[in-house]
Amino acid sequence: MNQEIHINFKNDISLTIKREDLIHPFISGNKFRKLKYNLVQAKAENHKTVLTYGGAFSNHIAAVAFAGKEYGFETIGVIRGEELFDKIEENPTLKFAQENGMQFEFVSREEYRLKSEAFFIEKLKDKFGDFYLVPEGGTNTLAVKGCEEILTAEDSVFNYVCCAVGTGGTISGLINSAYADQKILGFPALKGDFLKDEIRIFAKKDNWDLISDYHFGGYGKINLELIEFINAFFDANQVPLDPIYTGKMVFGVIDLIHKDYFPAHSKILLIHTGGLQGIDGMNLKLMQKKLPILKKNV
């Protein structure tokens, strides 16, 4: 569903947000897109178990847990941070995943960096038996195929399509399915330019760019300015934004409009990639720091 954002910009620029967050209450946004064909493939290969990786507040972990319950898979989450094993009840994401049947393997940050190594995967198979492996963040060829379905015929009118970037799967799908003369702009949630190489693995066109000025200090970092922006945007449009991905992207796009980055009469489409489950965990941190909490309920 596309929703127009009612802000009076100079130069007759229009802003629309694609509400991918409304696809499913628990497998929302790009997580639905990324898991769609992976779960089809897991079934085709007769796997009974899906294993994946993630951090303490991972949208991906929560989505895989619910999808496993929904579609008949056992699920295993390899979680970064061995200190979390006795803190599940205090963590909204891990608690939700466990309630939906996910089994956890907590590993140190040093071990976690080895997650793609063959010996690490074999060790997991020795412990858990056979499984279908979905990478951290869900990005692989099948995930990109799912993300290629985000844009529809009605989106051909937009000059720019903007999305947050984590592992690069979502933007790769948008790049591949973009209409003629559309520019895809990605707003990384992480510091560094390494993502361009990751995206080039999957992207088939040269119609894109990354804007790396709106990560607010790095992955998971947030400040009062971003909190106030997200809450003001919610009040004005009744659209909740997550603080890790989409909130930073929307902030960046609106800031660039004010800085005359976009030509006059540009039609801009923002992709809401979901991630709203992470707001509960972030709000716990914000309350500890005595900062305002984020709004998420319409």
Nearest to 128 by CA among 111, 148, 105: 105
Kindly provide the b/e burial profile for residues 93-113, where b requires at least 16 CB atoms within 10 angstroms of the residue's own CB.
Answer: bbbbbbebebebbbbeeeebe
Q: What is the 3-state secondary structure (H, E, C) of 261-290?
A: CCCCCCEEEEEECCCCCHHHHHHHHHHHCC
pLDDT at 44: 98
Cα Rg of the chain (Å, integer): 19
Tokens (6 digits) for 185: 């702009």
pLDDT at 63: 96
pTM assigned to the model: 0.93
Interstrand relation of 2-5 and 14-19 (parallel, antiparallel or unpaired): antiparallel
Distance CA 184, CA 186 (A): 7
**Mean pLDDT rounded to a whole number for the chain:** 94
pLDDT at 6: 86
pLDDT at 298: 55
Nearest to 60 by CA among 224, 170, 191: 170
* Burial (Cβ within 10 Å: 0-12, 13-18, ≥19) of residue 43: middle
Q: Which residues of the chain have pLDDT under 70?
A: 298
